[in-house]
């Protein structure tokens, strides 16, 4: 099924903000949303290799009892860092129109080989994205559990509300991620109510990059953001 169609339908037809799992599937079918298989030859190959590597003697069944065995036998920190960039990732889009209305949109592939039922930060308003016409918008990409624990997107907008500029708000949010002292990284994209933008990352090995475009530009502009190191490990 198409997640965007489901989300729009839920917002328009139901009193809830978020539906997940079997309940979301049942609702989508009831509302006539199209079903589809999102797997590809590459993802099926990766999944087969994962099963062969992690469960040589058993395999995966629908009881999900394998989750306990997997969690007990694997070093999740090392496993997560082995995932290449093309096995996870998120697209953040922040927009401001001529009326001053602000929107934030997030599309994510999700973390590959996650536990059944795992929900990342992208669909959670306040964690993976948040916007407020008075102050601005924010989106996140990285290990979603970190943004969920810190309510990162909402914290960024609250920082703008308190009077911080976008650079200071981004720096504060990324430092808060470091304070969790766990594996994985986080990135954020911020736009204030005047259209100023900045991005930031906790990843010390790469630049934070985002693209900016307004109605007067013929092509998007590449902008280099902030790298916020872990002060306790420098």
Reply yes or no on whether the pLDDT at 113 is more than 80: no
Span 85-106, mean pLDDT?
Answer: 86
Backbone dihedral angles phi then psi of residue 143, each to the nearest 5 degrees? -75, 105
Q: What are φ and ψ of residue 188, in 5° steps? A: -140, 155
* Of 7 and 203, the one with more pLDDT: 203
List the structure tokens of 124.
């959670």
Q: What is the pLDDT of residues 156-190, one digit of tens each?
A: 999 999 999 999 999 999 999 999 988 888 999 99
How many CB atoms sit inside 10 A of residue 116's CB? 10
More confidently predicted of 145 and 117: 145
Task: Using a cut of 0.95, tell me whether the model's pTM lies above it.
Answer: no
DSSP summary character for residue 85: G
Place of tokens 């602000």: 102
Supply the residues annotated as catalytic. Answer: 90
Summarize pLDDT for 15-48 with one digit per residue, the tens: 887 888 888 888 888 888 888 887 888 878 877 7
Token pair in block for residue 159: 């920082």
**What is the structure's pLDDT at 58?**
57
Token representation of residue 4: 């965007």
Three-state DSSP state, 205: coil
Q: What are the domain boundaries of the chain?
A: 41-74, 88-233
Q: Helices (H) and strands (E) in the chain — how many of each?
A: 8, 9
Give the DSSP H or E segment for 168.
Answer: helix 166-179
Residue linked to tokens 């306040």? 126
Among 111-115, 152-156, 205-209, 228-232, the range scoring the smallest mean pLDDT is 111-115
- Residue keyed to tokens 């049942």: 26
What are phi and psi for residue 118, nearest 5 degrees? -65, 135
Count CA within 13 A, CB hemisphere, residue 116.
Answer: 12
88-233, which class in CATH? Answer: alpha beta
Write down the pLDDT at residue 184. Answer: 84
Work out the mean pLDDT of the chain and round it to a whole number: 84
Helices (H), 111-185: 144-150, 152-161, 166-179
- Please check the confidence at residue 92 and state whether its pLDDT lies above 90: yes
Would the pLDDT of 60 be above 50? yes
Residue 96 has pLDDT above 50, yes or no: yes
């Amino acid at each position: 099924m198409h997640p965007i169609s489901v989300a729009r339908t839920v917002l328009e037809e139901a009193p809830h903000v978020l539906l997940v799992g079997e309940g979301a599937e049942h609702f989508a079918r009831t509302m006539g949303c199209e079903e589809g298989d999102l797997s590809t030859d590459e993802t099926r190959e990766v999944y087969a290799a994962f099963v062969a590597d992690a469960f040589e003697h058993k395999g995966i069944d629908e009881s999900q009892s394998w989750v306990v065995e997997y969690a007990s036998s694997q070093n999740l920190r090392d496993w997560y860092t082995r995932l290449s960039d093309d096995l996870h990732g998120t697209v953040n889009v922040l927009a401001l129109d001529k009326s001053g209305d602000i929107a934030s949109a997030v599309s994510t592939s999700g973390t590959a080989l996650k536990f059944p039922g795992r929900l990342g930060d992208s669909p959670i308003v306040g964690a993976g994205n948040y916007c407020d016409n008075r102050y601005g918008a924010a989106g996140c990409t990285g290990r979603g559990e970190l943004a969920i624990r810190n309510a990162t997107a909402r914290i960024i907008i609250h920082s703008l509300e308190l009077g911080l500029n976008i650079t200071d708000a981004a720096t504060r949010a990324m430092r808060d991620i470091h304070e969790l002292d766990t594996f994985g990284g986080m990135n954020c994209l911020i736009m204030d109510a005047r259209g100023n933008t900045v991005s930031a990352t906790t990843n010390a090995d790469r630049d934070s990059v985002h693209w900016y475009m307004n109605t007067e530009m013929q092509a998007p502009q590449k902008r280099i953001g902030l790298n916020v190191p872990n002060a306790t490990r420098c």
